[in-house]
């Protein structure tokens, strides 16, 4: 029998009246603002986009190493993404292979994104299925087309083998992303600073600056999350003509890489091989807004 774990909350959505939905949305935004130490999430978003308009143009994501916390914060305050060497490769989890998932954690309770989770990526009622890790690996191996995906899961057993740098004063819990080649998170942005660790496998990520939302036909999923229907891997300029004006930067993240994604930057993430990634979002004023 599948054991319930705290990292798998109930999936049943409460029925809300429009008035209740609006009140709950406002309460969430006020709570989000309080957690991050800002007066308004809307004002924070607009400040990020306005600051991004003054950023230099990027064609490639630079790579750095040996960052102290002060070095990281100073660089991150510039508001541009960068790759970091020398952190993830030292984690005990990086020394393992994907066999660990079945051999030691096959009983772990997980929740998989199934079906066409791309077009419903930012919907509250997208198709999900609870199972064990072993059942997920079996399902992923036999699925044709879009593979099921373990995304945004708080897997404490795996996180015990990760040593996150203390670059932010406050961070949310580590989230894990597991899946074979072809698993995809479509183009979206989070309005929190993000450090993304590639543990096993390779992923291709497309990045776009915050103020190019005006070219990407974005939709609000929540005050902190916006999605785009545009696919930079298969651009449909007939349907999305403004996307021709968007800057899209491609970067490959390899095992041992850590990528800093500043708040508000759009990103699309595809696994090119079987992949295990993890990320943490800061819970504070985005560093680009703290620059002197």
195 closest CA partner among 166, 157, 160: 166
pLDDT tens sequence across 233-256: 999 999 999 999 999 999 999 999
**Residues in a beta bridge with 184:** 270
- Per the CB < 8 A criterion, the answer to whether 104 and 93 are in contact is no
Question: Whole-angstrom Cα distance, residue 14 to residue 26?
Answer: 17
The kind and range of the H/E element at 221 are strand 219-222
Name the residue with tokens 């992949």: 275
Question: Whole-angstrom Cα distance, residue 57 to residue 115?
Answer: 38
Residues in the chain: 292
**Residues in a beta bridge with 204:** 252, 270
- Residues of the chain short of pLDDT 70, as ranges, are 1-14, 292
- Per the CB < 8 A criterion, the answer to whether 278 and 176 are in contact is yes
- Per the CB < 8 A criterion, the answer to whether 262 and 51 are in contact is no
pLDDT computed for residue 20 by the predictor: 87
- 52, 232, 266 from 56: Cα distances, Å: 9, 21, 16
- Per the CB < 8 A criterion, the answer to whether 285 and 37 are in contact is yes
Question: Whole-angstrom Cα distance, residue 189 to residue 226?
Answer: 5
Name the residue with tokens 């009140």: 23
pLDDT computed for residue 280 by the predictor: 98
Question: Which residues touch 243 (CB under 8 Å, ≥6 apart)?
Answer: 215, 216, 217, 230, 235, 237
Helix, strand, or coil here: 69?
helix
> Does pTM top 0.85 for this prediction?
yes
CA atoms within 13 A on the CB side of 4: 4
Helix, strand, or coil here: 195?
strand
Strand 275-281: give its sheet, edge to edge.
Answer: 63-65, 82-85, 258-261, 194-200, 275-281, 175-179, 150-153
Q: Which two tokens stand for residue 197?
A: 């660790």
Q: Cite the beta strand spans of 27-141 per DSSP E.
A: 63-65, 82-85, 109-113, 128-132
> Measured in whole angstroms, how far is the alpha carbon of residue 238 from the centre of its chain?
28
- Per the CB < 8 A criterion, the answer to whether 189 and 266 are in contact is yes
- Per the CB < 8 A criterion, the answer to whether 174 and 162 are in contact is yes
């Amino acid at each position: 029998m599948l054991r319930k774990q705290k990292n798998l909350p109930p999936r049943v959505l409460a029925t809300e009246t429009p008035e209740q939905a609006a009140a709950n949305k406002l309460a969430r935004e006020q709570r989000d603002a309080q957690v991050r130490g800002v007066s308004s999430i809307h004002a924070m978003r607009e400040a990020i986009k306005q600051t991004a308009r003054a950023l230099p143009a990027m064609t490639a994501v630079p790579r750095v190493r040996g960052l102290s916390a002060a070095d990281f914060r100073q660089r991150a305050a510039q508001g541009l993404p960068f790759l970091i060497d020398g952190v993830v490769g030292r984690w005990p989890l990086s020394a393992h292979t994907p066999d660990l998932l079945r051999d030691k954690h096959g009983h772990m309770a997980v929740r998989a994104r199934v079906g066409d989770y791309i077009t419903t990526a930012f919907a509250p009622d997208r198709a999900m299925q609870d199972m064990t890790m072993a059942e997920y690996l079996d399902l992923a191996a036999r699925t044709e087309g879009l593979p099921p995906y373990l995304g945004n899961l708080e897997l404490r057993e795996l996180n015990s083998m990760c040593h996150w740098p203390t670059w932010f004063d406050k961070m949310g819990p580590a989230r894990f992303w597991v899946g074979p080649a072809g698993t995809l998170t479509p183009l979206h942005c989070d309005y929190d600073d993000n450090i993304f660790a590639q543990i096993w496998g390779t992923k291709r990520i497309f990045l776009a600056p915050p103020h190019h939302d005006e070219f990407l036909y974005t939709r609000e999923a929540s005050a902190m999350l916006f999605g785009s229907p545009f696919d930079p891997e298969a651009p449909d300029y007939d349907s999305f003509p403004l996307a021709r004006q968007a800057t899209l930067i491609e970067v490959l993240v390899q095992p041992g890489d850590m990528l800093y994604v500043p708040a508000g930057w759009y990103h699309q993430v595809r696994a090119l091989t079987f992949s295990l990634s993890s990320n943490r979002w800061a819970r504070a004023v985005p560093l680009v807004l703290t620059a002197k």
